[in-house]
Amino acid sequence: MADLRPIAAPFVVPGPSGVAIRTRLKNLTAQDEMVLRVVGAHLGSLAAGDLKQRCADGLGHDSDRWAQRKRELTGLSSSRWAGSITKATHDQWALARRGLAAHVQGLQAGIDMLAHRLSQPLGQKGTKRTPGGYRSRQEWHAKARRLACLTARHAAAVADYDSGRVRVVRGGRRLLNTRHHLAEAGLTEPQWRQRWQAARWFLSADGESGKRFGNETIRVTDDGQLSMKLPAPLADLANAPHGRYLLTCRVGFAHRGQQWADRIAADRAVAYRISFDPQRDRWYLTASWQYAPAPTVGLAAALVAGCVGVDANDDHLAAWHLDAHGNPTGAPRRFGYDLSGTADHRDAQVRH
C-alpha cells in the first residue's frame, strides 16, 4: 500500500489572469432574434462537424490538419468565425482528454484500494495509514465483483486514452440523457428541444488586439452598439455595410463596465459570447479578456506584516489578524450576511 500523499509546503497563490462579465440583451426585435437563431444554428452545425473531424483525427492531429479544417470552414462562414470554431473545438477535445486522464487515475486508485483490502484477512483491523480487510465473506465477494468491474472499465478507458479517443457531446451529456426522462425533469418534448438547440448554437468570437474595439467578428462600440459579421451563406440578412448585422439593442455592463470601456477604447482584445436562456426567454452577452497577472512575492515577504485568516460560515465571515508565525493578534472580526436568492446572487453577497 503506497504512503499517503505528502502535504505540500504553503505558497502564495497567483492572482486571477482573466475577467468575464455578462449583461442582458434587452429590447431585441423579432428580426434580431431570428437572425441570432439562424446564425447560431448555422455556426453550431459547422462546430459539430468540426468537432467530429477533430475527434476522428485523434492523436494524429497536427498544425497542418488544423489549418486544413480552418480552410474548409472559411468558405462556409468567414476566416474569423472559422478560427473561433476550430479553437473552441481544440479546447473541447483537450478538456475531454484531461477528463479521461483523470477518470483513468480515479479507476486505478479504486482498483488499488480494493486489491489491498481483498488481500487482507477477513476482519483484519486497519491503521491510520492503511485500511484493513472486509468484515464478512459476503462483503469480500461483493467487492471482488466490484474489482473485476473496475478492472474492465479501466482497461477500456486506457485503450481509449492510448488511441486518442474521447467522448464528447455538444450540448452536454446530462441534457442529452434528459431526453429519455422528460417526465422526471418536468419538461415536454418541445421544451427539451428548445434547450437542446440553444445549447448547441455557436455564437462566440475571440478578440483580436489592434482591431477596432478589440473584436471584428462580434463588435460592441463605446456607445453600446452591438453588431456581428454574418457568415457568407447568410450575407443577405445584413442590414449594415460589409456584411454585418446591427442589433437594435444597446449594450452596457454594470460590473467592471469601466474596465471594459477602457479596454475597447484602446482596441485591446475582448472575446464575446452571445447565449440564450430558454427557461427565461432571455438573451445574454458575455465579454471576457485576459491580462498579465500581478507578480507574486515570496511567502516570507508576504508574511512580514502578518496576514488575515478568514473562515466562511453559514451566516457570517470570521476574520482574525495573524502575525508572521500564524498566531492571532488583537480581537477577531465578524462580518454577517443574509444569503438568499440564486447561487450567483449569494456569491455576489459574499464577495461584497
SS3 assignment, position 24: strand
Rounded mean pLDDT of 17-36?
94
Residue 11 is predicted with a pLDDT of: 83
Could you please report the per-residue DSSP string of 82-123?
HHHHHHHHHHHHHHHHHHHHHHHHHHHHHHHHHHHHHHSPTT
79-119 and 30-57 are packed helices; what angle lies between their axes, rounded to 10 degrees? 50
SS3 assignment, position 16: coil
CA-based nearest residue to 217, from 209, 227, 39, 225: 227
Asked if pLDDT for residue 3 goes beyond 70, the answer is no
Whose cell is 468558405? That residue is 75
Give the residue extent of every domain in the chain. Answer: 299-351
Helix, strand, coil percentages (3-state) for the chain, rounded to 5, are 45, 20, 35
Beta bridge partners of 24: 284
pTM: 0.81
Asked if pLDDT for residue 20 goes beyond 70, the answer is yes
Asked if pLDDT for residue 99 goes beyond 90, the answer is yes
CA-based nearest residue to 130, from 4, 259, 221: 4
| pLDDT per residue as tens digits for the range 162-181 | 999 999 999 999 999 999 99
Cα-atom radius of gyration of the chain, to the nearest Å? 26
- The whole-chain average pLDDT of the chain stands at 91
Asked if pLDDT for residue 2 goes beyond 60, the answer is no
Residue 4 is predicted with a pLDDT of: 67
- Cell representation of residue 53: 473531424
- Run of H or E including 331: strand 328-336
Who contacts 187 (Cβ-Cβ below 8 Å, separation ≥6)? 178, 195
| pLDDT per residue as tens digits for the range 263-311 | 999 999 999 999 999 999 999 999 999 988 778 788 888 888 888 988 8
SS3 assignment, position 221: coil
How many other C-beta atoms can be found within 10 angstroms of the C-beta atom of residue 143? 16
| pLDDT per residue as tens digits for the range 136-159 | 999 999 999 999 999 999 999 999
> CB–CB of 106/161 below 8 Å?
no
Residue 39 is predicted with a pLDDT of: 97
Q: pLDDT category, 1, cuts 50, 70, 90?
A: very low
How far apart (Å, rounded) are the C-alpha atoms in residues 286 and 289? 10
Residue 153 class from Cβ within 10 Å (0-12 exposed, 13-18 middle, 19+ buried)? middle
| pLDDT per residue as tens digits for the range 312-342 | 887 888 999 998 888 999 899 998 887 778 8
- Cell representation of residue 122: 477477513
| pLDDT per residue as tens digits for the range 37-63 | 999 999 999 999 999 999 999 998 899
Q: pLDDT category, 238, cuts 50, 70, 90?
A: very high
